[in-house]
Structure 1
Amino acid sequence: MEMIKVWEIPGGVHPPENKTQSLQEPLGQIDIPPQLILPLSQHIGAPAKPVVEIGQAVLGGQVIAEADGVFSANVHAPTSGRIAAIVEHRVPHPSGMSDTCIIIDTDGEDRWVELSPWEDYASRDKSDILARIRACGIAGLGGAGFPAAVKLNPRANQTIDTLIINGTECEPYITADDILMRERADDIVAGTGILAKLLNHPARVVIGVEDNKPEAIEQLRRAAEGTEIQVVSFPTKYPSGGEKQLIQILTGREVPSGQIPATIGVVCQNVGTTAAIYRALRHGEPLVKRITTVVGESLERQRNIEVLLGTPVRYVLEQHGFDETKASRLVMGGPMMGFALPDPSVPVIKTTNCLLAPSKKELPPPEPAMACIRCGMCAEACPAELLPQQLFWYAQSEDLEKLEAHNLFDCIECGACSYVCPSHIPLVQYYRAAKGEIRQHRIDKEKSDRSRRRFEFRQERIAKEEAEKEAKRLARKQAAEEAKKKLAEQKAKQPSIVEQAKASVQAQAPDSQQQRAKLERLVASAEESLKQAQKPIDNATDEQLEKQASRIKQAELKVTEAKKKLAALSDDKPASGEAAHDPVSAAIERAKAKMTMSPEEKLRSSLESLYQRLEKAEQKVKEAEQEGSDKLDALKQGVDKLKDKIASTQSELAEITPSTVAEPTPKDPATSDDAAGAAIEKAKAKAAAMASMSAEDKLRNQLDSLGARLEKARARLAQAEQDEDENIDAFRTGVSKLEEKLSATREQLAEYE
C-alpha cells in the first residue's frame, strides 16, 4: 500500500489522554427511559418543524419533525410511545438556554415503523442516496452537527480530489469513535465507499487515525483490504482532530480564512457520521441513537454506550451509579472543548459524544483568573496561528472591528490557549462571547440595512409617483390652454349666434310667390272652417251652442288673421313692424290675437281643447287595455289628470259666468257608449256644485280630491317598483307633482284659517 506523507501542524498541546478507563468494557446499552426529550434543533441551521400533535401515538423511526430548509434535518422518534408535550425545555448549550422540544412518553414496547432497506445501495443513483440521507436526518456526529446531505453535495465549480474520514478523536476522555472503529469497522469502510461514490470517486480516500488507537487502526485496515481506501495513522497531538488541522496533516494544504475545505478540493467526514450513512442506506435506519462515552471518577461504571437520542442525562448517569457528592461538575463533551451542564435534565442529542462526570480531585474547579503576564504561551499553542493575547484584549474592550480584523472566527475553540495559560484566564470563553456578540451585531446590521433599503425604495417610489402626477397635471394644463386658444380662433373666424340665426331664417324663408300661395291656402282653409262652425245644430243644448259660438269666434279670428297677412304681403308692407315672411313676427301676431280674447273665450277655448285631448287619451287607454300594454297605468294617470284639469277649468268658467252654466242632463255611465261624454257630464255636475261654494270650501274640496289622487298615485308607484316597471320614473314624477300641489293647496287654505 502506498504510504501517505503526513505534515506537522503548528501549535498544539499534549494533555493527559485518560482514555483507558472507558475502554475496559465492550460497547453497551441501557434500558429505554420512561421519557425522551427531543429538541427541534440538534444541528446547524434552521430548527425542524413539528408534524405531530400532543396525545398522538408514534412508532420508532417515525418522523416527528420535518427539516425546514436546506440547512436543516429531520427528527425521528427513537422508540414507540405517545407525544406528551411540545414545549420549551432546557437544551445542551453553554448558556443553559431553552428551546422547543418534543417530549415522548415511551411505552417500553419499542415498536417501529416498517423500514425499507436497500440491498443494492451501491448501485443507486446519487440523487436517491442524498435524498435517503436527508430523509433519515443524518447530521455530523463529531462536530457541530452539519447536515450530511449538504456537505456531500458540493457546488459544481468545486472539484473534490480528496475524501478524509476523521477517526482522530484527539480530546481527552472521549473514546466513542475508538470503540466504533474497533467494533464496526466494516460499517465505516462501507460508508466510506458510499461517500466516495457521491463525490465522484476522489483520487485519494483516507481514514485518518491517531497512533494512540492501535486496535482501531488494525480493524480498519483489515476491513479496507482490497479497496482504494487508505488508513493512515499519525502522531498524537491535540487538536489534530480539528477538520482544518487534519486536512493539513494529511494533505499539507491549508484552508483559507473564511473558506470551507471544499474550496481546496477536500471533504472531511466523521467516522460516526459515515457509519450512520451506511446503516441509513443498507438498513433504512434513521438517526435515532449514537455512541456516547460515559466517564468520570464520580461514576461507579465507566464505558461507552449506544444511547437513544432524547434520553435525559440524569437517566444515563443514574444507570452508571453517579455520585453527585463526588462530582466537581458535569461536562458534556471533553475537558478541552466541552461545556458544563447547569441542569442534568437536558437530553442527549446528535452531537453528544461524551458525558464527563469527574471527581473534584480528577478535575478540580478552575483557579481564579489573574492578569495576563504577556508570556506568549497561548500564541505558541494556537493551532490556527492566531494571536490569542490580542484577541483577549479586544474581547475585553468589545472592539468588534479589531476582533474580526484579527480573524477571530478562525478560532476552533480547542482550548489549547486556556490550557497553557499560567494566569488561568478562560480565553475561550471570551472568544465565544465575542463571536456571539459579532453574530448578533451582523444580524442587527442586516435588519437595519433591509429597513434602510425598504425606506429608500419607498421614498423613490413616492417621488416617482409625484413626478408622474405633476407631469400629467402639466399635460392636462397645456392641453386645456391649447383647446382654449383653438376655440378662441374658431370664434374669431365664425359669425355670432345672432348672425347665424338671421342667416338661417333668411335661408329658410320662402319667396313672395310661395308665401302668397301659402297664405291663400290658409285663408281658404280658415273660411272653410268658419262655414263648418256656422252650420246649425239640431236640438242643440246650451252647452253645445256655447261650444259652437266659441268655435265660430276662433274661426273668425283665423280668417281675419290670414286675410291680414295676405293683404300685408300684397301691399308689400311689414306686418306689425316686421317682414311678413318672418316666422318670429308671425308667432308674435298669433300671441297678440290670442291676447285680445276675453277671459271667458280663453276658458271656453281651453275647455274644448281639453275635451279633445281627453277623448284621445281614453281611446289610447282602451287600446292599451286590449293590447295588455305595460303603459296602461301611466295612460290612466294621464286621463285622471285631464279630468281634473277639465273640472278645474269648468270651475273657473262657472265663477266668471255662473248664470250661463246649465244643469247637467244625468246619464248612466254604465249604459253609455261614450266614456268621454260621461266624464264631461261628471265635470259639469262638479262645476255646478262648486259654483255655489265659498272659496274656502272649494279649497277644502280640492284638498280632499288631491289627497285621494295622491293615495292612488302612491299605490301605482309601489306596484311599479315591485314589478320593476320601465315607466317607474313617470310614476315618481306624478307623485312628486301631486305632493307639491297638495302642499300648495294646504298653504292657501291656511290663509283662510
Structure 2
Amino acid sequence: MLMNLFKFKGGVKPPTNKTQSVTLPIAQAPLPSRLVVPLHQSIGGTPRPVVAAGDKVLKGQLIGEADGWISAAVHAPTSGTVVEVAMHVQPHPSGLDALCVVIEPDGRDEWIPREAVDYKALTPEEVRERLQQAGVVGLGGAVFPTHGKLTASKTVPMEELIINGAECEPFITCDDLLMRERAEEVVRGIGIFRDLLQPKKVLIGIEDNKPEAAAAMRAAVDALQEPFLVVPVPTLYPAGGAKQLIRVLTGKEVPAAKRSTDLGVQCFNVATAYTAWRAIAHGEPVVSRLVTVTGNVHAPRNYEVLIGTPMDELLKLATPHPDTDGIIMGGPMMGFLVPDPHVPVVKATNCLIAHDDRLFPPKPPEMPCIRCGACAQACPHELQPFEMYWFARAKNFGKTQEYHIFDCIECGCCSFVCPSRIPLVQYFRFAKSEIWAREREKNAADGAKARFEFKQLREEREKAEKAEKLARAAAAQAAKKAAEAAAAAAAGGDAAETAAAAPEVAPAAVDAAKEAKKATIEAAMARAKAQREAAQPKNVEALSGAQQKEIDEIEARRQVAHLTDADAASPAGEKTE
C-alpha cells in the first residue's frame, strides 16, 4: 500500500556512517566489574532508593521506587551485593553528580521470579501500572515514562499511532539491528500500545536507508496478521524527531504549546515497544538496552548492555584505537562528550562513539555571524537561530524567549550549516539554562516573600489577639474591684451609695476594653496602608490611556473592598474614615 508522504521544513544530510556497525549481529556484553545505576534516568521525579549498602539483590529486583505518576522505577541489572548508595558522576554535559546504587555482581546473574501475564486480561490502568513498575521509558532518547503517554485524549479521538524506526542520527544503528533481529517482539509490543490507545491506523516509519529492517518488520506484521503499515520515509536528518516524523506520515504539525495527543496522534520508539512487550509478556523490567559502539574502534558493533555498565569497559569490547581521546554519548549531531570515561550506561544511552581528532577534527575558530540565514533555512522547527544567537550572546534572555528558544530541539542542523562555524546549539543551551536558573531564583524569592508576608500577618493577628485578651483581663479586673468595693461599702454601712456607684464602674471597664481593641485595629490598618503605599507600582510613566484606565478601575475596586473590610472590622455603630 502506497502512502502520500509530506515534508517538513529544513533538515540536513550529514554523512550517515552506519554501515560500519551493522555487519555483525547483536552481541551480549559481559558482566562488568561493578554496576553504577543512577536512580534518575527518565523525565519526571527521582525514584527513591529502597536498598542500602550490604543488601543482596537479584537481577530485576526493585532498587528505586517511582516517585509520582511521571516517574519510572529502577531495577538491579544483575544479582550481587549493594556496595553503596551514594553520589557519582552521571553521563550528562554538566558533569554533575547523581544519586546512584552501586552493585558488585556475584557472577550468577540470577533473576527474580518473573511473572508473565496476558495483558488482554488486565484493565488498561493495570497495564500502565505494570509498565511503570517495570521502568519502561522512551528509549529513542527522550526517556519519558511510557505509561504516561498511553492515555488517549478525552476530547480528541486517536487517529494515528506512529512507531518511530527512522533512527536518523549518524553512526547509531541499534534500532536498525533490533528491527532486523527481533521484529516479532517489536510488533507484539506495538500491539500493546494499539490496544491501549485504540487508534484508527498504526504507521511504522523507517528511513529508506534501512531496507533490511523494513523487510523484517513487514514479515513480522504479516506473520502476526496485524493491520500495521510499514512506511519507508526519505533519509533526512532529523526525520527521526517525533514532530518531524508525525509531519511526514500524517501532514499534521504539532504546535509548541500542545501535545500530539491533542491532534489525535501519539509516537513511540521501536525499542520502547520491544521493552514494553518484554515487561508484560515475560515479566522482565528494563535492566539492559542495545547500544551501538562505533567510531575510532577496530570492531564497531551493537551490544546488549546492562544498565550501569561503565562506558570505558564497554568501549574496550570494540578495541578502540590508541589515539582515542574521549567518548561521545549519542550521535555527532545531538550527542556530547561524557565528563568521565567511567560514567555508566543509562536508559538514554543508545550509542557510544570513540572520539579522536581524525574522525572529528577540531573546528576552526568561530567567526562573526554574517546573517546569511542558512541556519533559518535548515531549522526543522522554522525558528530564527541567528536572532536567538544574537540575544543569547548579549544575555538578553527575554528576547530569546520572544523568538521561541524553548521550541528548539537542539538537533544541531543550524550549527552544521553555519559558514561562520558558530556553535549555535551551545549558545541556545546556555540561554535555556540561564532562564531556568533565573526562574528557580524567582520562584525561591516569591516563596520567601510569601513566607515573610504570612509571618507578618501572623504576628499582627497575634498582637491583636493579645491586646483583646489584655482588654478582657482589664475589664474582668475592673469588675472584680468594683464588686470588692461594693462589698466593703456594704460592710461599712454605706451599701446604698456603693450599689449606686458599682454599675458605673463596670461600663467604664467595658468602654476601656472597646477603646483598646479599636486602637489595636486602627494601628494594624495603618500599618497595612503604609505597606500598600510602599508597594506602589513602578515604571508606569509611559502607560497608554487604555492601560491607565484599567489600572484606575482596579484601584477603584480595591478601594471599595478596603472600605467594606474596614466597616466590617470597626466596632458596632462606628465608621472608619
Q: Distance in 2 between the 1:214 and 1:485 partners? A: 106
Check if 1:160 corresponds to 2:155.
no
Deviations 1:395-422 (A, max 9, x none): 1121121111211110000000000011
> What residue is the counterpart of 2:237 in the other structure?
238
Larger-gyration structure (1/2): 1
Q: Which of 144, 152, 171 is 1:146 aligned to? A: 144
Check if 1:274 corresponds to 2:269.
no
User: What is the TM-score when the length of structure 1 is the normalising length?
Assistant: 0.62
Q: 1:299, 1:323 within 8 Å by CA — same for their partners in 2?
A: yes
The alignment partner of 1:413 has SS state of coil
Give 1:12's aligned amino acid.
Answer: G
> What residue is the counterpart of 2:192 in the other structure?
194
Q: 2:294, 2:318 within 8 Å by CA — same for their partners in 1?
A: no
Identity of aligned residues (%): 47
Q: Distance in 1 between the 2:19 and 2:494 partners? A: 126
Q: Distance in 1 between the 2:156 and 2:294 partners? A: 41
Q: Distance in 1 between the 2:157 and 2:444 partners? A: 35
Alpha-carbon shift at residue 477 of structure 1 (Å): 6.6
Q: 1:392, 1:427 within 8 Å by CA — same for their partners in 2?
A: yes
Higher-RCO chain (CA-CA 8 Å, sequence separation at least 6): 2
The alignment partner of 1:209 has SS state of strand
Q: 1:23, 1:175 within 8 Å by CA — same for their partners in 2?
A: yes
Moved more, 218-227 or 419-428: 218-227
Q: Distance in 1 between the 2:83 and 2:174 partners? A: 31
Check if 1:34 corresponds to 2:25.
no
Q: Which of 312, 315, 329 is 1:314 aligned to? A: 312
Alpha-carbon shift at residue 283 of structure 1 (Å): 0.5
Deviations 1:109-139 (A, max 9, x none): 2111111112x22332212211211111111
Q: Distance in 2 between the 1:86 and 1:75 partners? A: 13
Q: 1:181, 1:188 within 8 Å by CA — same for their partners in 2?
A: yes
Structure 1 residues 208, 483: closer, same or farther in 2, change over 3 A? Answer: same
Alpha-carbon shift at residue 176 of structure 1 (Å): 0.7
> What residue is the counterpart of 1:285 in the other structure?
284
Structure 1 residues 178, 495: closer, same or farther in 2, change over 3 A? Answer: closer
> What residue is the counterpart of 1:438 in the other structure?
435
Q: 2:8, 2:248 within 8 Å by CA — same for their partners in 1?
A: yes
Alpha-carbon shift at residue 146 of structure 1 (Å): 0.9
> What residue is the counterpart of 1:62 in the other structure?
61
Q: Which of 403, 414, 417 is 2:400 aligned to? A: 403
Alpha-carbon shift at residue 34 of structure 1 (Å): 1.8
Structure 1 residues 486, 251: closer, same or farther in 2, change over 3 A? Answer: farther
The alignment partner of 2:493 has SS state of helix
Give 5+ residue unaligned stretches, structure 1. Answer: 502-753
Check if 1:371 corresponds to 2:368.
yes
Alpha-carbon shift at residue 359 of structure 1 (Å): 4.3
The alignment partner of 1:89 has SS state of strand
Alpha-carbon shift at residue 495 of structure 1 (Å): 9.0
Give 2:493's aligned amino acid.
Answer: V
Alpha-carbon shift at residue 49 of structure 1 (Å): 1.8
**Equivalence map 1:521-560=2 (5 Å):** none
> What residue is the counterpart of 1:204 in the other structure?
201
Q: Distance in 1 between the 2:237 and 2:163 partners? A: 18
Q: 1:328, 1:364 within 8 Å by CA — same for their partners in 2?
A: no
Deviations 1:651-683 (A, max 9, x none): xxxxxxxxxxxxxxxxxxxxxxxxxxxxxxxxx
User: What is the TM-score when the length of structure 2 is the normalising length?
Assistant: 0.80
Q: How many residues align?
A: 493
Q: 2:326, 2:337 within 8 Å by CA — same for their partners in 1?
A: yes
Deviations 1:21-54 (A, max 9, x none): 1111111122211211111111112222222221
Deviations 1:58-81 (A, max 9, x none): 211111222222222211111111
Give 1:62's aligned amino acid.
Answer: Q
Moved more, 315-324 or 354-363: 354-363
Structure 1 residues 477, 110: closer, same or farther in 2, change over 3 A? Answer: closer
Check if 1:46 corresponds to 2:45.
yes
Alpha-carbon shift at residue 158 of structure 1 (Å): 5.7
**Equivalence map 1:631-650=2 (5 Å):** none
Structure 1 residues 158, 474: closer, same or farther in 2, change over 3 A? Answer: farther
Structure 1 residues 57, 5: closer, same or farther in 2, change over 3 A? Answer: same
Q: 1:34, 1:107 within 8 Å by CA — same for their partners in 2?
A: no
**Equivalence map 1:457-472=2 (5 Å):** 457-470=454-467
> What residue is the counterpart of 1:506 in the other structure?
none
> What residue is the counterpart of 1:498 in the other structure?
493
Q: 1:89, 1:101 within 8 Å by CA — same for their partners in 2?
A: yes
Deviations 1:289-309 (A, max 9, x none): 11111111x211011111111
Alpha-carbon shift at residue 393 of structure 1 (Å): 1.3
The alignment partner of 2:415 has SS state of helix
**Equivalence map 1:406-421=2 (5 Å):** 406-421=403-418
Q: 2:26, 2:302 within 8 Å by CA — same for their partners in 1?
A: yes
Q: 2:158, 2:199 within 8 Å by CA — same for their partners in 1?
A: yes
Check if 1:428 corresponds to 2:428.
no
The alignment partner of 2:309 has SS state of coil
Q: Distance in 2 between the 1:78 and 1:481 partners? A: 79
Structure 1 residues 235, 487: closer, same or farther in 2, change over 3 A? Answer: same
> What residue is the counterpart of 1:736 in the other structure?
none
Structure 1 residues 318, 459: closer, same or farther in 2, change over 3 A? Answer: same
Alpha-carbon shift at residue 476 of structure 1 (Å): 6.8
Q: Which of 120, 123, 148 is 2:121 aligned to? A: 123
Alpha-carbon shift at residue 350 of structure 1 (Å): 0.5
The alignment partner of 2:112 has SS state of coil
Alpha-carbon shift at residue 320 of structure 1 (Å): 1.3
Structure 1 residues 288, 398: closer, same or farther in 2, change over 3 A? Answer: same
Alpha-carbon shift at residue 485 of structure 1 (Å): 9.9
Alpha-carbon shift at residue 464 of structure 1 (Å): 3.3
Deviations 1:489-524 (A, max 9, x none): x99xx99953779xxxxxxxxxxxxxxxxxxxxxxx
> What residue is the counterpart of 1:324 in the other structure?
322
Give 1:498's aligned amino acid.
Answer: G
Q: Distance in 2 between the 1:252 and 1:362 partners? A: 37
The alignment partner of 1:129 has SS state of helix
Q: 2:141, 2:350 within 8 Å by CA — same for their partners in 1?
A: no
Q: Distance in 2 between the 1:284 and 1:233 partners? A: 33
Deviations 1:398-450 (A, max 9, x none): 11211112111100000000000111111111111211111121112112111
Give 1:461's aligned amino acid.
Answer: R
Q: Which of 216, 221, 232 is 1:219 aligned to? A: 216
Q: Distance in 2 between the 1:499 and 1:294 partners? A: 111
Alpha-carbon shift at residue 154 of structure 1 (Å): 5.1
Structure 1 residues 300, 470: closer, same or farther in 2, change over 3 A? Answer: same
The alignment partner of 1:272 has SS state of helix
> What residue is the counterpart of 1:348 in the other structure?
345
**Equivalence map 1:448-597=2 (5 Å):** 448-470=445-467, 497-498=492-493
> What residue is the counterpart of 2:100 in the other structure?
101
Q: 1:291, 1:304 within 8 Å by CA — same for their partners in 2?
A: yes
Alpha-carbon shift at residue 247 of structure 1 (Å): 1.6
Q: Which has the higher helix share?
A: 1
Alpha-carbon shift at residue 484 of structure 1 (Å): 9.4
Alpha-carbon shift at residue 281 of structure 1 (Å): 0.4
Moved more, 354-363 or 229-238: 354-363
Give 1:187's aligned amino acid.
Answer: E
Structure 1 residues 404, 74: closer, same or farther in 2, change over 3 A? Answer: same
Q: Distance in 2 between the 1:244 and 1:214 partners? A: 23
Q: 2:308, 2:344 within 8 Å by CA — same for their partners in 1?
A: yes
